[in-house]
Amino acid sequence: MDLTDPRTFIPDPPYRTWARLRRRDGLPFQERREAPGFYSVVRYRDVDTVVRDSTSYSSEGGMTLDTALGVRDPAAGKMIELTDPPRHRRLRKLVSGGLNRSVAQNMDALLRWRVDSWVADAVRVGEVDFVDAVSERVPSAATGLLLGLPEKHWDKLADRASRAVCGSLSADDARVGDLAVRRNSTATANGQLMVHLASLVDHAELAEDGMMRRLVEAEIDGDRLTREEVLLNCLNLAIAGNETTKNATTGGLVAFSRDPQQWQLLRRHPELLDSAVEEILRYTSPVQHLMRTVTRPQTLAGTPLHEGDLVCAWVASANRDEEVFTEPDAFRIDRDPNPHLAFTAGKHFCLGASLARLEIKLVFEALLSRVERITLLGTPVRKPTNLVAAYARLPVELHAG
């Protein structure tokens, strides 16, 4: 099975393939025509090792299958996700001030009434595309508020961020299997997003306490971010903030619709909501993989690795590893413990984890008080990507009760 082809992830990620690979010895290797081959890391313990050990496994050679080409990424050392220690510490220190727990707590009041309104409207209509009606609106608002942008800019930013991740090709377009075409599509979208962000930094009325203004003005011991670093890290926040949370929320609703007993359990025991959020993150794994470049000779899972080798850490596979999770393919909102890697681990642990958890919680909290049953109206429509578990549409009926 070709794990580089986004069509392999439609209608669902290849969980059975990953399960077979987890049972085999060593790391499977896949050749690529247009780029260097790579090793697939599929077991929880090995994925955990790769994402935690930034000394042995560098993120500066590209973080995705479509961008890890055996050379240093142009944004390496400038964007926090593409930077290794010790420079990573500098960027994280300058960026993290606007993404701590208190920021998420303050965001609660700003988001709650909006989420409540969108969910109420969706339930009133009954039959909706949940992506359009709710799940893409929430992270769009959260990211806009976080960055300190006027509301008129939120939707455009979210749309461009989505295209930067997923491109503009549809699943039935034969060209989606061509790496060069995919790279051109996402590179064009990333360029447009950078131009848009530059315009916002220069001309938008930015909130005093928003992340954009914070990044422009941030200073620690006389050290400030360059303009390029500001734009690249705003791009990172826009992409991570919009696409991942949107798809976790959508995937969570799919899971509840396919296992209505879990929805009824949550309705009877709303105190399980925090646990349900963690299970949604594990079960959906909004970020499917992360690429790393090996920096020194070593052995992983019995496979010798050499400097310059590429490894693909399949987070979605790790989160279904039967050695860690009982009945890993079952959606269980009371799962405990739940040491998922949806936000990765180590120095690259997601800065926006608290905010992402809040967004997902607010959506399902609003649904709990209004919805008795959830019915899928046809097959959920996926976007053709192996990077995020992305949905284009989710037709559902929300039964009030």
Q: What is the pLDDT of residues 74-92, one digit of tens each?
A: 999 999 999 999 999 988 8
User: Exposed, middle or buried, 174 (CB in 10 Å: 0-12/13-18/19+)?
Assistant: exposed
Binding site, by residue number, is 350
pLDDT at 237: 93
Q: pTM of whole model > 0.85?
A: yes
Distance between CA atoms of residues 63 and 73, nearest Å: 9
Q: Which of 40-54, 152-166, 202-216 has the lowest mean pLDDT?
A: 202-216
Is residue 311 within 8 Å of 57, Cβ to Cβ?
yes
Confidence of residue 102 (pLDDT cuts 50, 70, 90): low
Beta strand extents in 10-76 (DSSP E only): 29-30, 38-41, 57-58
Binding site for heme, by residue number, is 350
Is residue 363 within 8 Å of 112, Cβ to Cβ?
no
Q: What are phi and psi of 333, to 5 degrees?
A: -70, -15
> 202 to each of 179, 215, 230, how far by Cα in Å?
34, 13, 12
The domains of the chain, with CATH numbers, are: 6-66+80-400 (1.10.630.10)
The residue-averaged pLDDT of 155-176 equals 88
Residue in this structure with the two tokens 């069509």, named with its chain if needed:
7
> 131 to each of 73, 161, 266, 340, how far by Cα in Å?
32, 15, 22, 24
Q: Which of 179-183, 236-240, 258-262, 289-293 has the lowest mean pLDDT?
A: 179-183
pLDDT digits (tens, 9 = 90+) for 285-339: 999 999 999 999 999 999 999 999 999 999 999 999 999 999 999 999 999 999 9
